[in-house]
Structure 1
């Protein structure tokens, strides 16, 4: 009976794991809810919908640049709100066309997108004089009843409560008012002549009665400003903006709602995956191989604890699949990067605990007490490392757009799941295995005294190595620029390019494999032979289902290159028609700016968190410098190898930042733990060397497991996956190097001055 009680918990754990695996693999019900088959994949992995609109400006003329940019913004917001997706691409094609690419969408979205968002200025009765007045939320009579009781726009128009519409707005711009005692952020409205007359009448009544006028766009109120004067000149200012960015966002939304443009659908296609089925298949194989190798590594190195960690990793994988399905998260390559990072951090948490357990056993503690102490002592480092990465993910999720936000969402989800599996699941399984009889020290191992390496004395060498690599990278960029090429090999995601639409006869459309392995290399060769400036030409494809068409996207083709490609496709591969269109970048300046500002804000918040946790600003400063070091190293990898800088570039850099900060925090946590009674430079040097050596094995083990996963992607994956995996591998190596050789040495260099003065 006693033996049964000991075995039963393990049976329950295995049964739960098998059940979760079944759900993750097969799902629940006919729709396979919760399974990997129910996960939304991005356009690059699973295809979706591509819609191209002809944009007509005022009176059917050519739209202005401002109108095109605002229309792109409007469509981006509409897609995000209607489909709850962060992965759609919206970009300009020529001077009067806009293309929207939506992963996983159906033709039901066509009508929604082509219907303009409506902008209305609605009078709000802010007194109790109106019949049946009820205003619990302070939104005003009209607003409340429109939202709560189904009052329609038509009825509000009939009652005269709609005082202006989008067609009455001539312009809206963010500004700064310096006329008062201090600067104030505002939105400056300019009305049409007809709008000015309407607004004069409306503001006269509103000002006399203390009403507000709410601005309603596309289903919700975006602002409810108070009327402070009668406005008769067609010029109005909305005050009370908390920042210039808030003012610019409101102004942009008002401009969008007031756009006098029309959208005519030119083509709407269901497109195939950009990477093809082979990319998904090989990625799955790489993931399976990587996980198997990680399990073997953990079991060989950590024995029975490795068994517990491997089982917990199984729970992690199942949880992630189920949650990705449950939350309808669209998974793309950048999202996969977030998952890879969280897997590394899940293993890292286990390695931290296991290393502590071995140290406790080596110090003479019994195994059960060593396990308890190991979790207790490792908790601080685990929490600090994961929270700093969560800060980055949170900021990127809130401020980032497109693939950056998708990366942040999967990273945050992965971190939370990894912390749960490492701190709860692994610990529970370890306890069960201990109670089953695995109590001898031999099942766990002892920490060996690490070989003392004097890292501090070698710090100038480490600094020099990093500087040399950076200088060489900068020199490479300059050389490429002088040679007539870009400093980096930018993809069309960043610089725009040419979309070549290739039509084939019925039944002659090439397969994904033929495109990737035969046609695309031939197109690159033909274009680069005709134009030497295109020797690093990058290319991607979309197969237009049911229309016998393929769209090839490249950097901008010259006339000679276009002719060469046209001749190749028609004479060699049987294309019946080939057309070309210039397209804008899908990664806009706004997206890049958002990602950059999000990263800066995240770094500042990390710095603040580290300061409050470590009570020493030098820890934070050293960590941030180390992060910058690793980001630069990854960027230099793109410069040296001429890898394509595309949509995954931002995600790769952010992944390494998240990985590196976690690694650095662990070393700093050990320095903080060992730091006491430091009175001389030699004692400080010994402190840093001892702490780095104590965490050296853990840093290497964590890096090895993460590197294994990415290496499998590189070895097994198709070319686009390799382009994604190689800089990740460089980043993992750099992150480990900076944590061991740079960050701690920087802290020593800053700290020694205060010790010398003491």
Structure 2
């Protein structure tokens, strides 16, 4: 009867997995009307994809300044920022691409957009300075807003009628962030007003200063700042203080400038565009995931036997849940998002490998299998939690502070971490217990940890440091040589430096296969042959079916290259017309700065967390140095290989940081467990060597499973996917190397130095001598 219940439980688990698979792949029936089936779509087919994977809508505006003048560079940059913020707030998507085209045009590309957003984007955002109170004419003052929102019943129209609005956007001449050195370097926003605005503000601030009121700055339906007025401001120059950072001050200044823009947007064209990465990108990514999954399952079954069965079933749960949640939360999936999923799959397997290694250690020490399973989960828990939480910290910071594809990467990574912890700690444990109760109780089904020959990684630490330093120096040398030749230290893509958009009009649009396999190679050959200084290595294309056009985006083409490309397209591929336009970078300075700042904040928070958990800042500092090492190795990969540095560059570096910290934490957790009773430098060294060797198989096996996933992307994926996968493979190898050969050795060096400085070794030695004499 007891075994029957176990069989029943195992059947329930399989049925649950089957049900999740059905929902993920085939979907649930959506009925409407009188029981008619409206649609039946699986979560897999309902996932939203970004512009790079599935295309979307594109709209181009002509920007006109005051009195029809050409807008200034600052006005263009601020308008781009305004449109980016509008898209994010109106659509709730961070995956839009906004860039300048020529001197007076801006193009906005949005995945899955509707006509409504185009109307919203072309309507300028309104900026108002609103007084806190307003008189009804009888000196009875009414509160206009409180706690950052307009009071109930108060509208912008009513405020315009009763004088509650002090200034409008047109009254602002300029706004910029600054530092007030007279007040201990406080961050401020410096305002300049027009002559009309100066008069209005003088009157309003005189009254507000007397009564201690504030004047709120209201843009696009919300308050961005609510400063109190300390004194009457009559000179047309004002200063808003109280910002905690220069970035906060710059954000407020940028918003005020945007609200004060005196430009108009005229729609030139709006079209549906195809995927930037080609039609086969999604298909090949799915195929790569399937191949990688199969190889991981085989690897787990061969290495871990019965435990591998548990892990494989749990991994199936993970994949199904991940797909369902991506669809349920309407996450827009882009190439960086795929990186987050790949990393979380590796971490899902990692948690299982960590537990299984502990179980085998317990069995090898003579613990019965039943108790070894429980002990394995209990002893591995701290390392699993610490590794996942540190990575989750990075994901949360990047999700809150990042922009664009960085936020998309963070969301998928955070979601994957949470799901992977659930499946590893609960699903795998339940399945393992059921299989054990079914009669698989013999040690042969689980295996024992084998005593392997110890490798003295600590003794060779200087060799490891030298290898890493040599790679970094060689990479810097290569960067210098390339820069001196005029090729640039890195091969930057149009995402960072802008380029040329070549619009080709046909009688009928060629097939995607012909564009990718014939036209794009021909364009690259023509451009590079015409101008020997060019090195066009990749092209992204977009198809505009309605206009019978294909848009090819490349690095900036010279006049000779453009003429050569045009001739080839007209002579060989029947192009009716070919036009060229310079386009700006899609990754703005603000996005790059946001990614850097968010990464630094994440590293600081990880350092604090590791310090708190391990009670030793040397663990945190060693881990951060190891992360910097891995980031440098990935960057060197771009320098050596000259693959394009584009939007996926940031995602690749962040992916490896997340992977590496998890790997390092596991080794540190074992050091923390083993470090007790250390009496000499030799004992400290021996303890670190033991800890590294005890976690060595786990580090290698996790790296193998993660590497398998990335390798499958590299082998099966299209060119853009392979360009992304190559630095990831380098990063996985580097992350494993730094965890084994760098991080722990750094900790040993820091710890050994502090113990020597404190005299701890000498004290212990003196005490032993005294004990012997007595």
TM-score range, shorter chain: over 0.9
Which structure 2 residues correspond to residues 712-727 of structure 1 after superposition, within 5 A?
712-727=712-727
Does 1:112 find its partner at 2:120?
A: yes
Residue 738 of structure 1 deviates from its aligned partner by 1.1
1:509-540 deviation line (CA, Å, top 9, x unaligned) = 11221111111111000000011112343211
Secondary structure, aligned partner of 2:175: strand
Residue 409 of structure 1 deviates from its aligned partner by 1.1
Q: Provide the residue aligned with 2:511 in structure 1.
A: 511
Does 1:405 find its partner at 2:407?
A: yes
User: CA separation of 1:677/1:525 partners in 2, compared to 1, >3 Å: closer, same or farther?
Assistant: same
Secondary structure, aligned partner of 1:117: coil
1:637-675 deviation line (CA, Å, top 9, x unaligned) = 111111111110110011011111111111111111111
Measure, in 2, the Cα distance between the counterparts of 1:536 and 1:683: 57
Secondary structure, aligned partner of 1:457: coil
1:374-404 deviation line (CA, Å, top 9, x unaligned) = 0110011111111111111111112211111
Q: Provide the residue aligned with 1:643 in structure 2.
A: 643
Measure, in 2, the Cα distance between the counterparts of 1:33 and 1:17: 18
Q: 1:49, 1:107 within 8 Å by CA — same for their partners in 2?
A: no
Secondary structure, aligned partner of 1:556: coil
Which residue of the other structure, out of 51, 58, 71, is the alignment partner of 1:63? 71
User: CA separation of 1:518/1:376 partners in 2, compared to 1, >3 Å: closer, same or farther?
Assistant: same
Q: Provide the residue aligned with 1:74 in structure 2.
A: 82
Which residue of the other structure, out of 305, 308, 318, is the alignment partner of 2:307? 305
Q: 1:50, 1:271 within 8 Å by CA — same for their partners in 2?
A: yes
Residue 469 of structure 1 deviates from its aligned partner by 1.6
Residue 131 of structure 1 deviates from its aligned partner by 7.8
Which structure 2 residues correspond to residues 231-242 of structure 1 after superposition, within 5 A?
231-242=233-244
Which structure 2 residues correspond to residues 546-561 of structure 1 after superposition, within 5 A?
546-561=546-561
Which structure 2 residues correspond to residues 201-280 of structure 1 after superposition, within 5 A?
201-280=203-282
Q: Provide the residue aligned with 2:464 in structure 1.
A: 462
Residue 576 of structure 1 deviates from its aligned partner by 0.4
Measure, in 1, the Cα distance between the counterparts of 2:124 and 2:222: 15
Q: 1:274, 1:542 within 8 Å by CA — same for their partners in 2?
A: yes
Residue 158 of structure 1 deviates from its aligned partner by 1.4
Secondary structure, aligned partner of 1:174: strand
1:478-513 deviation line (CA, Å, top 9, x unaligned) = 2212222111111111111101001101xx211221
User: CA separation of 1:367/1:134 partners in 2, compared to 1, >3 Å: closer, same or farther?
Assistant: farther
Q: 1:680, 1:755 within 8 Å by CA — same for their partners in 2?
A: no
Residue 176 of structure 1 deviates from its aligned partner by 2.7
Q: 2:133, 2:164 within 8 Å by CA — same for their partners in 1?
A: no
Measure, in 1, the Cα distance between the counterparts of 2:124 and 2:626: 48
Secondary structure, aligned partner of 2:435: helix
Secondary structure, aligned partner of 2:454: coil
Q: 1:192, 1:234 within 8 Å by CA — same for their partners in 2?
A: yes
User: CA separation of 1:139/1:77 partners in 2, compared to 1, >3 Å: closer, same or farther?
Assistant: closer
Q: Provide the residue aligned with 1:706 in structure 2.
A: 706
Does 1:585 find its partner at 2:585?
A: yes
Residue 127 of structure 1 deviates from its aligned partner by 10
Secondary structure, aligned partner of 1:276: coil
User: CA separation of 1:351/1:233 partners in 2, compared to 1, >3 Å: closer, same or farther?
Assistant: same
Q: Provide the residue aligned with 1:321 in structure 2.
A: 323
Q: Provide the residue aligned with 1:365 in structure 2.
A: 367
Q: 1:31, 1:38 within 8 Å by CA — same for their partners in 2?
A: no
Does 1:170 find its partner at 2:173?
A: yes
Q: 2:132, 2:143 within 8 Å by CA — same for their partners in 1?
A: no
Measure, in 2, the Cα distance between the counterparts of 1:130 and 1:222: 29
Which residue of the other structure, out of 155, 160, 164, is the alignment partner of 2:163? 160
Does 1:542 find its partner at 2:542?
A: yes
Q: Which moved more, 1:727-736 or 1:96-105?
A: 96-105
TM-score where L is the length of structure 2: 0.94
Q: Provide the residue aligned with 2:45 in structure 1.
A: 37
User: CA separation of 1:689/1:358 partners in 2, compared to 1, >3 Å: closer, same or farther?
Assistant: same
Residue 553 of structure 1 deviates from its aligned partner by 0.5
Residue 322 of structure 1 deviates from its aligned partner by 1.2
Measure, in 2, the Cα distance between the counterparts of 1:304 and 1:628: 38
Measure, in 2, the Cα distance between the counterparts of 1:231 and 1:754: 57
Q: Provide the residue aligned with 1:630 in structure 2.
A: 630
Measure, in 2, the Cα distance between the counterparts of 1:203 and 1:493: 45
1:584-639 deviation line (CA, Å, top 9, x unaligned) = 11112222221112212211221121112222222222211211111111111111
Q: 1:34, 1:326 within 8 Å by CA — same for their partners in 2?
A: no
Q: Provide the residue aligned with 1:144 in structure 2.
A: 151
1:533-576 deviation line (CA, Å, top 9, x unaligned) = 12343211111122110110111101110010010001110000
Residue 583 of structure 1 deviates from its aligned partner by 0.7
Q: Provide the residue aligned with 2:765 in structure 1.
A: none
Does 1:426 find its partner at 2:428?
A: yes
Does 1:292 find its partner at 2:294?
A: yes
Measure, in 1, the Cα distance between the counterparts of 2:690 and 2:312: 30
Does 1:728 find its partner at 2:728?
A: yes
Q: How many residues align?
A: 749
User: CA separation of 1:138/1:571 partners in 2, compared to 1, >3 Å: closer, same or farther?
Assistant: closer
Q: What is the CA RMSD across the aligned residues, in angstroms?
A: 1.9
Q: Which moved more, 1:84-93 or 1:336-345?
A: 84-93
Q: Provide the residue aligned with 2:567 in structure 1.
A: 567
Secondary structure, aligned partner of 2:289: helix
Does 1:352 find its partner at 2:360?
A: no
Q: 1:385, 1:661 within 8 Å by CA — same for their partners in 2?
A: yes
Residue 139 of structure 1 deviates from its aligned partner by 5.0
Q: 1:68, 1:96 within 8 Å by CA — same for their partners in 2?
A: yes
Measure, in 2, the Cα distance between the counterparts of 1:745 and 1:709: 29
Secondary structure, aligned partner of 2:441: coil
Secondary structure, aligned partner of 1:237: strand
Q: Which moved more, 1:196-205 or 1:667-676?
A: 196-205
Does 1:602 find its partner at 2:587?
A: no
TM-score where L is the length of structure 1: 0.96
Secondary structure, aligned partner of 2:678: coil
Q: Provide the residue aligned with 1:331 in structure 2.
A: 333
Measure, in 1, the Cα distance between the counterparts of 2:385 and 2:377: 12
1:236-258 deviation line (CA, Å, top 9, x unaligned) = 22232233222221111111101
Measure, in 1, the Cα distance between the counterparts of 2:752 and 2:237: 61
Measure, in 1, the Cα distance between the counterparts of 2:2 and 2:611: 51
Measure, in 1, the Cα distance between the counterparts of 2:14 and 2:142: 61
Give the gaps of 5 or more residues in structure 1.
Answer: none
Q: Provide the residue aligned with 2:439 in structure 1.
A: 437
Q: 1:478, 1:487 within 8 Å by CA — same for their partners in 2?
A: yes
Measure, in 2, the Cα distance between the counterparts of 1:41 and 1:136: 40
Q: Provide the residue aligned with 1:738 in structure 2.
A: 738
Secondary structure, aligned partner of 1:489: coil
Measure, in 2, the Cα distance between the counterparts of 1:123 and 1:571: 66
Secondary structure, aligned partner of 1:446: coil
